[in-house]
Chain A
């Protein structure tokens, strides 16, 4: 069998084949049929898994969302209800829906305008030759390795009404003015967001630091020579050069906010002030809950919202390199 398609079989199998083809360097696609099949399998098998277990369920979510299926038996023509799940949701018929949207939005806003900028700020401060920068960095990034379950437990030790550090340290338990940080629906979202930020800030710092390291140092020097101070240098020189990282950071923050699930679930299973879209999906459609079609409609809404940051990320990441 010929090793290459473009060479005559007689010489291709000869030991000197390498020598002969060396003159054809730069030529593309001298793959044998066997090699092509191997490559097809290398891509095909993982791709098949990805399509079957990720993209097929994504499409199926849309399909389910048009039904009132309860998860038992087959979906029949009688199960189709058109867009009524969506109508019911958007009209506020399901009283937890709009609060969940609001909570996801607050989550996004908090991370975008508080936690992420703080992470960037830390990165900018620590990027310079500050003494002990490694120690500071290590501390801020420590929570990033922890599971959100552990993060949740650690913060419950702070926020717990009678046994937590905060209420005890400020004498609120003794004086009887207990603040129920995790139980009061007006404030528990913010308590959870503090816990979420504890981890998110370090994550953003790490990524931004890597970006800052890749900025051409001569740019800063030039700015310095031109008499720019540090603040000006950052906002007018470094920040614009970091545009790709800035996009990544914003996208990652948005995706984190849409995915938020674990902390709220651990604190109180996403009830009473901690409703999130992700939790409404599982509460309605998984295990003993039977509103599969309805929960899927929430999933589709989450999908549509997620497409924004996903497309932004892809168009950033897949752009051909300069």
Chain B
């Protein structure tokens, strides 16, 4: 405190940096605290990585907390990859996540566009319906939803078969239950609520005059949405795409309840089943968990900015 007052009234940016770089005992405490917390935070992940790199035989003979006598290897990863048939589950995830994210962004941006660029009587009510729907705990709706999924007839046409994969159009049991299309549908509907909220917050910052003058110039609303408003929302759309990818990729609950066939499960919920299969080998399970975490970790590394923007767009007003 004495240092800050000594600097005087003109707290310019340069000076405040200079002050912070100056040695002061509480800075040392601050950094010690932060470093301790950082180590604490990173440790569980480090331990998972370390376990995954050790052969189980080595762990068993030398104990869980010990240095690796036989060296480290990627064998656990290789074993899990092939034995658990991991590429198959990655493909399941991909089939569910990609179309869902695209559909969510399309639907949510339409609602947000109509609710923010035009004034009509119920636009606020509509936004509330979407936002509140997304805030409900999924378990509140799951029982009736499960029965809707079991009782809604969906045409069974044919399927696209690629090697071991079979993607039914639209179902292979005439139902929404236990189908890719069913799990996509609930993701789309549930997350559209969230994306609508975030995108409408963002679109509120776009001047209505842009839309108004485009209408005056004779553009149709569909063109205004696609050619004018959506390009202006590119940062928000990128942020939402990143966030939604992570959310849907990480989903456990919907897939647990609405899918039954093990072969249709996306990787995150498949992991839980695989746990039973490999329960005797913790190191192998560690490798599996890390493999399943690779896509979100790639997001973390390469799309950190978009991910954080997505999280914070939803909480702060645009």
Chain A residue total in the interface (Cβ 8 A):
117
A57 touches B135 (CB 8 A): no
Partner-contacting stretch, out of B69-77, B79-87, B120-128, B155-163: B120-128
Q: Does A97 contact B (CB under 8 A)?
A: no
* Complex interface residues of chain A between 6 and 61 (CB less than 8 A to chain B): 17-18, 21-22, 24-26, 28, 30-31, 34-35, 38-39, 42-43, 45-47, 49-51, 53-58, 60-61
Looking at B167-175, B230-238, B281-289, the stretch in contact with chain A turns out to be B281-289
Contact (Cβ within 8 A) A148 B250: yes
Query: With A50-B130, A286-B142 in contact, is A306–B136 under 8 Å at CB?
Result: yes
A210 within 8 A of B: yes
* A77 cross-chain contacts in B, Cβ below 8 A: none
B135 with A38: CB separation less than 8 A: no
B32 within 8 A of A: no
B129 near A57 with CB under 8 A, answer no
Q: For A149, give its contact among B128, B220, B221, B271 (CB under 8 Å).
A: B271
A157 near B282 with CB under 8 A, answer yes
Task: Give the complex CA separation of A132 and B285 in angstroms.
Answer: 34
Does B136 contact A281, Cβ atoms closer than 8 Å?
no
A-B contact number at CB 8 A: 316
Residues of A within 8 A of B118 (CB): 31, 39
CB-defined contacts of A31 to chain B, threshold 8 Å: 118, 215, 221
Instruction: State whether A261 touches B48 (Cβ < 8 A).
Output: no
Q: How far is the CA of A42 from the CA of B42 in the complex (A)?
A: 45
Contact with A along B42-67 (1 / 0, CB 8 A): 10110110010000000000011100
Cβ of A261: which chain B residues have Cβ within 8 Å of it? 138-139, 252-253
Q: Which of A262-313 contact B (CB under 8 A)?
A: 262, 265-266, 277-278, 281-282, 285-287, 292, 295-296, 299-300, 302-303, 306, 309-310, 313
Contact with B along A114-158 (1 / 0, CB 8 A): 000000001001101111100110111111111111100111111
Query: Which residues in A have their C-beta under 8 angstroms from that of B110?
Result: 42-43, 46
Spot the interface stretch: A79-87, A182-190, A244-252.
A244-252
Please, how many angstroms separate the alpha-carbon atoms of A214 and B316 in the complex? 9
Query: Does B102 sit within 8 A of A, measured CB to CB?
Result: no
Residues of A within 8 A of B24 (CB): none
Q: Is the CB of A51 within 8 A of B129?
A: yes
Interchain CB contact under 8 A, B136 and A58: yes
**A150 in complex: contacting residue of B146, B225, B271, B315, CB < 8 Å:** B271
A139 touching B38, Cβ below 8 Å? yes
Q: What residues of A have a CB within 8 angstroms of the CB of B41 in the complex?
A: 139-140, 142-143, 198, 202
- Of A17, A126, A221, the residue contacting B218 (CB under 8 A) is A17
CB of B13 to closest CB in A, whole Å: 9
Shortest CB distance A205–B (Å): 10
Taken together as a complex, chains A and B put the C-alpha atoms of A317 and B197 apart, in Å, by 9
Q: Do A295 and B143 touch across chains, with their CB atoms under 8 A apart? A: yes
Over the window 185-202 of chain B, the binary record of Cβ atoms lying under 8 Å from chain A Cβ atoms (1 yes, 0 no) is 110111011001100010
- Chain B: CB-nearest residue to A322: B317
Contact of B141 among A61, A210, A292 (CB under 8 A): A61
Number of B residues with CB within 8 Å of any CB on chain A: 112
Q: Does A99 contact B (CB under 8 A)?
A: no
Task: Tell me whether B144 is interfacial, beta carbon within 8 Å.
Answer: yes
The chain B residue sitting closest to A134, CB to CB, is B304
Distance A229 CA – B215 CA, assembled complex (angstroms): 54
Q: Which residues of A are found within 8 Å of B127, using beta-carbon distances?
A: 318
CB <8 Å contact, B126 and A47: yes
Decide: A309 and B135 in contact? CB cutoff 8 A: yes
Contact A54 B65 (CB under 8 A): no
Using Cβ atoms and an 8 Å threshold, which residues of chain B touch A155?
44
- Identify B133's interface contact among A50, A138, A141, A313, CB under 8 A: A50
Contact B292 A245 (CB under 8 A): no
| B52 closest partner in A (C-beta) | A157
**Residue A206 at the B interface, CB < 8 A?**
yes
- Contact check: which of B108, B131, B141 meets A46 at CB < 8 Å? B108
Q: In the complex the two chains form, is A35's CB within 8 Å of B189's CB?
A: no
Contact sample, A vs B, 17 pairs, CB 8 Å cutoff = A28-B212, A31-B118, A43-B110, A50-B130, A51-B129, A55-B133, A58-B140, A58-B141, A61-B141, A64-B143, A146-B297, A149-B289, A203-B311, A224-B11, A259-B138, A282-B257, A287-B260
Inter-chain pairs besides A43-B114, A262-B253, A286-B142, 6 sampled, C-beta below 8 Å: A129-B16, A147-B296, A210-B308, A285-B142, A303-B137, A321-B204
The 6 closest A-B pairs by CB, nearest first: A147-B250, A210-B312, A60-B144, A57-B144, A57-B141, A153-B289
